[in-house]
Structure 1
Amino acid sequence: TPVIMLTALDQDIDKLMGLRIGADDYVVKPFNPAEVVARAQAVLRRSMAAARQTEPRVLRADPFEIDLEQHEAAVLVGKQRHALSLTLTEFKLLAQLARAPRRVFTRAELLAACLPEGDTLERTVDSHISKLRKKLEERGVEGIPAGVRGVGYKLWSGE
């Protein structure tokens, strides 16, 4: 968990001690709120980059195999492997759901993880999920991703 210390202690020894005991950043009062936001975003960027480095290159969540570096996804139906032709957003959604197949992701979580660059509405996720579902149905995979009414989506229905 990233830690930013906000404190009135402004001596060098205080700053050094805070950073030595594990803080990722140290901000002294009085502070500019915009600066704190920028520092928080920088710390989160660094921690997300570190998390991505420890992530496996290929995600496997039956019946899917998702190569994160090559941006390729495949589905195993019977004993046949079928490549999936997905848009970047569909690929990101499938990968995010495959990271925790039984977890229910809210639309807001999926939006933040897969479409962070714009002012996209949460219902846009529904549209992308629908298109992803149609492509999977064409390959013989039914009911994936599963919708959880009033909450969001998960990869498997758990049935």
Structure 2
Amino acid sequence: MTQTEPNAESTLIAIVEDDPEIRALVTGLLEREGFEAAACANAADLDRLVERRRVDLAVLDIMLPGEDGLSLCRRLRARGDTPVLMVTARGDDIDRIIGLEVGADDYLPKPFNPRELVARVRAILRRTRDVHRATQPMPQREVFVFAGWRLDAASRDLTDPGGRPVELTGAEFDLLVTFLRRPQRVLNRDQLLDWTRGRSAMPYDRTIDVQLSRLRRKLGGADLVRTVRGGGYLFAAPVERG
């Protein structure tokens, strides 16, 4: 295991899937990879689990009996920052976009390649391990100040010019930090995908556009991230780093 890989043995992944065969398949797959996996048939099962344990990642099926995956993802985001991998059997892109809008870190359409599922799980855990695993060492403190805003990269605390906290999902945080480390420089979509999602990115992946739209809204609609025609995106404000 390399230093960049999450420690599977201390990582709990919840699989929320109503189909017993798929639930058993995914649970067994992740356990063979060395993760601790908890099978949940519905939202109520997950609620009971999170009352007892810290969940490091939730793999949510959209189509669930009772409360669906989108509603469950929204609740998880409202009460904490548990990373979410959304799984959908629907081919319509609108479901994936809505999943990202409500805070999912990534999505995977069914039927999926088991290796791709594991790769996406590992990619999400690598991006979020400093926040969701207390056993990880604290990253070096890095503070960004821009246009009255302040982001503490170690604690992931973002405050607006009025000092009010603004909550970011893991994917939004990764995207913002990517811009803040490279201000006033044009970044194309492929670069953003590589720096925020790494090997889990797929060709023609449009999730960056969705996440960027959400990030712009959370930044108050300010013209901080500009679209450069034919080039990509540019973080326009000067950035001071502490």
- Name the TM tier (shorter chain): 0.5 to 0.7
Gaps of 5+ in 1: 1-54
Q: Give 2:198's match in structure 1, choosing from 113, 116, 119.
A: 116
Match of 2:167 in 1: 85
How many pairs align? Answer: 100
**How many angstroms apart in 2 are the aligned matches of 1:97 and 1:133?**
12
Larger Rg: 1
CA positional deviation for 1:127: 0.9
Aligned residues: CA RMSD = 2.5
Partner residue, 1:13:
none
In the other structure, the counterpart of 2:156 is: 71
Deviation at 1:130, TM superposition (A): 0.5
Measured in 1, the distance between the counterparts of 2:201 and 2:192 equals 14
Contact 2:189 2:208 in 1 (8 A): yes
Within-5 A mapping of 1:40-79: 57-76=142-161
Any stretches of 5+ residues in structure 2 without a counterpart?
Answer: 1-139
Three-state SS of the structure 2 residue aligned to 1:90 is helix
Map 1:112-151 → 2, pairs under 5 A: 112-120=194-202, 121-137=204-220, 141-151=221-231
TM-score (norm 2): 0.37
Sequence identity of aligned pairs in percent?
29
Q: TM-score, normalised by structure 1?
A: 0.54
Given that 2:224 and 2:236 are in contact with CA atoms closer than 8 Å, whether structure 1 keeps it comes out as yes
Distance 2:152 2:216 in 1: 19
2:194·2:201 contact (CA, 8 Å) conserved in 1?
no
Cα deviation code 1:48-103 (max 9, x no counterpart): xxxxxxx7611222233111111122221xxx212111111111111111112211
Q: Which amino acid letter does the alignment assign opposite residue 201 of structure 2?
A: D
